[in-house]
Structure 1
């Protein structure tokens, strides 16, 4: 699967979601996504830095983690909180501004998992600002690239 097909998924208003099929068991994908120290390995947005990560090696609901980021040439740090973790099924965290990032894993057949990543800006403190700044589209593009990287990793 050298050029994986990433599709848009409509899962509600103010949620940008993409989906891809990955040739790996959900447990392997979960191990990667639930470890904030490894998020840079998948990041398709180009904003996650590989250094300056603080937090557990495996997220649990309620855990906090900090990740070094860089956007528009400026480095900064974000501390997020894991809001839902279901082993081998769901990894979700909330940004300090309220929006959420969510990964859903559905192992449809042994060793093949449908992965849905979403950006929910309906929970943000100021969702209209994210839309005005174009983060709905920008994050949709980043999710697409992230899921391509994920699928290629297990191709």
Structure 2
């Protein structure tokens, strides 16, 4: 489900996962798990061996979108078991919010490019239209991984 936002430079997708926030947050705050849940197919692997992320932590990912590259991220939003968000040099934020609800946790993934250095480049690449599909797949994969312990298939 795509959620509307008051911010015109933000897109979000939500899903209720039958798990408690702490179990979900443990996966989101562990960069080594990000390639497992990634619905875009762009995350290859985390560089190094970072522990559970907290505010201000930095972590690097090897990526592939057409070509291979590495990107360094910084955790810029954090509330244990409720919120984690990171950004890289482009200054757009990937954010996850977790809200306890009946039957589990509502997880919302948000791509926020309101602080991006050159937001028009993001828009010209049509990322705001493309990302929600991958975000929904990420939340589906997160659901599978957290609720079954199995690595989702591609």
Gaps of 5+ in 1: 1-6
Q: 2:84 aligns with which of 78, 91, 112?
A: 91
Per the alignment, residue 53 of structure 2 pairs with 59
Q: Are 2:62 and 1:68 aligned?
A: yes
Question: What SS does the aligned partner of 1:122 have?
Answer: coil
Distance (whole Å) between structure 1 residues aligned to residue 48 and residue 59 of structure 2: 6
TM-score after normalising by structure 1: 0.89
Residues 1:119 and 2:119 aligned together: no
Per the alignment, residue 4 of structure 2 pairs with 10
- Aligned length in residues: 146
Aligned equivalent of 2:35: 40
Matching residue of 2:75: 82
Counterparts of 2:3 and 2:74, CA distance in 1: 25
2:17 corresponds, among 11, 14, 22, to 22
Q: CA deviation at 1:112?
A: 0.3
Query: Does structure 2 retain, via aligned residues, the 8 Å contact 1:104–1:117?
Result: yes
Deviation, structure 1 residue 148: 1.3
**CA RMSD for the aligned pairs?**
1.3
Deviations 1:7-66 (A, max 9, x none): 01012211010000001110000000001111001000000013x423522111111100
User: What is the aligned partner in structure 1 of residue 152 from structure 2?
Assistant: none
In the alignment, structure 1 residue 143 sits paired with structure 2 residue 127: no
Q: TM-score with structure 2 length normalisation?
A: 0.90
**1:76-99 deviation digits (Å, cap 9, x = unpaired):** 000010001111000100121010
